[in-house]
Structure 1
Amino acid sequence: MIARGAFIHELEAQRTRGQLAGGMDLICTYAGARSYLLARTDLYSDRNHDFIVTSDWPFNLVRQYGATLVDSEARTSEVRRCLQAFEPMFQEIDASVDLSPEYARRMCLIPYNAGQARMLLALLFDKDASVSHDRLRDVALATAYHTAQFPEIVSNNYALSDLTVREVECLSWIGEGKTSDEIALIIGISRNTVNNYITSIMNKTGAKTRSEAVAFAVRQRII
């Protein structure tokens, strides 16, 4: 198992090389884990997996369980989230989830904040793995440090790279106080299509209301 000093040195080297996934692989190894999933819980959407930043979980497990796991964390109250930040917790994987037999069904969850983002690291271990709580505390801090070095991951515009021209147009009209019916008439599309654009905008920005989406877009100078 990699020593603490060597771990810190190599993690810094991964940061210098701009290797997010490489650093996460190293963190996973230091923890004694078999695989990891890193997600932004503030970007959770049940329509896609854009909230997953990087992962080496088996694909079927990400598809089957990733959304359920992150949804649970996303619904956590702000007070509880503050109290649990950087604190490793263990959770049993539901028996209905198809998991390869070499994995333990008890995973480690580490919620934390990095920049403007609310993050969650989920670690899977081998059945016979020996888990060090001291190392997991190191992992919590190291993961926060490592991900904070990648502003494109932890900034508020992380999910905006695929905001379409039409979505920005709808967002601009919302900012002008227009309703879905009015926007549909102005742009020349159906009301349902406008609402689909608005739903997509809110998923990508993490906004809960139209007003939040507009405020976010103004702060980011999108509109």
Structure 2
Amino acid sequence: MRRFCGAAGASFYMLLDAAAEPNAMTQVVVSNWPYDAVLAVGSDGLAKMAEGTGGTFLGTSPRPWHPQTFAKLLECKEIAILAGYGQQELFSLTLAAGGRRYTVIFSAGAPGRINTNVLRRVHMACCYVLSHFENGQAAGRDAPLSARERECLFWVSEGKTAEEVALILEISANTVNSYVAHAIQKLAASNRAMAIATAIRRGFI
């Protein structure tokens, strides 16, 4: 996110996870905002900012928050505090990934510093990175294998013997073979090679 921020000419960034559950607190995924600025905006302000009102959707031209729109999200005092921390031009980009909605805010200390042409490409890149992350998380959540079974199967797929895997993971060779056997059974495979191929195809290892 820091790289995207710099490429667009922004000074600050904040990625918000707009929770789907009612009354759930908006989560700050990553940010380089000064802590006092986050504290000044507060959880209610972050929730309003995450709603995406006046924000830019993928495929449309990025535009900064209009002062009137921004005034509906935050109090005058909060807006003044943000300006004091060098955040006078703010862009809100709406992102969708893995069935979840995110909002990323890029800001700068003066109007015109953020390159909207670059920001449009950054918008697409953010969606891609988040989708990749969400897909990886989903694969991990849906995997029938335990973490240890995935580890053992991964090292076996790398050509390691049971003894070598045991040394790497600091467990016995018999335990390694047991984990691999369980993985074969869970994946409905007939042998190790088939289990490894299935695990790779389904994104488990």
Give the TM-score normalised by structure 1: 0.47
Structure 1 unmatched ranges of 5 or more:
1-23, 159-223
- Name whichever of 135-144 and 99-108 sits farther off: 99-108
Q: Using the alignment, how far apart are the partners of 1:144 and 1:53 within structure 2? A: 14
Determine if the alignment matches structure 1 residue 107 to structure 2 residue 90: yes
SS at match of 1:108: strand
Determine if the alignment matches structure 1 residue 131 to structure 2 residue 103: no
Partner of 1:33: 10
Residue 62 and residue 44 in structure 1: after superposition, are their counterparts in 2 closer, same or farther (change >3 A)? farther
Q: Structure 1: which 4+ aligned runs deviate by more than 6 Å?
A: 44-47
- The answer as to whether partners of 1:89 and 1:110 remain within 8 angstroms in 2 is no
Q: Using the alignment, how far apart are the partners of 1:75 and 1:104 within structure 2? A: 18
SS at match of 1:146: helix
Q: Using the alignment, how far apart are the partners of 1:64 and 1:70 within structure 2? A: 13
Q: How many residues align?
A: 128
* 1:120-151 Cα distance to aligned partner (Å, 9 max, x none): 00011122652222111111101111122222
Report the RMSD for the aligned CA atoms in angstroms.
Answer: 3.4
Determine if the alignment matches structure 1 residue 90 to structure 2 residue 64: yes
Partner of 1:121: 104
Instruction: Quote how far apart the aligned CAs of 1:35 are.
Output: 1.1
Determine if the alignment matches structure 1 residue 60 to structure 2 residue 41: no
Give the TM-score normalised by structure 2: 0.51
Q: Using the alignment, how far apart are the partners of 1:75 and 1:133 within structure 2? A: 18
* 1:149-196 Cα distance to aligned partner (Å, 9 max, x none): 2228976x99xxxxxxxxxxxxxxxxxxxxxxxxxxxxxxxxxxxxxx
Structure 2 unmatched ranges of 5 or more:
142-205
Q: Using the alignment, how far apart are the partners of 2:23 and 2:37 within structure 1? A: 15
Residue 44 and residue 32 in structure 1: after superposition, are their counterparts in 2 closer, same or farther (change >3 A)? farther
SS at match of 1:122: strand
- The answer as to whether partners of 2:19 and 2:25 remain within 8 angstroms in 1 is no
- The answer as to whether partners of 1:37 and 1:52 remain within 8 angstroms in 2 is yes
Q: Using the alignment, how far apart are the partners of 2:116 and 2:87 within structure 1? A: 17
1:1-223 matches, within 5 Å, as: 24-43=1-20, 48=25, 51-65=27-41, 67=43, 68-74=45-51, 84-86=56-58, 87=60, 88-91=62-65, 92=67, 94=74, 95-97=76-78, 98-99=81-82, 101=84, 103-127=86-110, 130-151=113-134
Instruction: Quote how far apart the aligned CAs of 1:42 are.
Output: 2.8
SS at match of 1:111: strand
Q: Using the alignment, how far apart are the partners of 1:60 and 1:46 within structure 2? A: 24
State percent identity of aligned pairs. 20
SS at match of 1:71: helix
SS at match of 1:151: helix
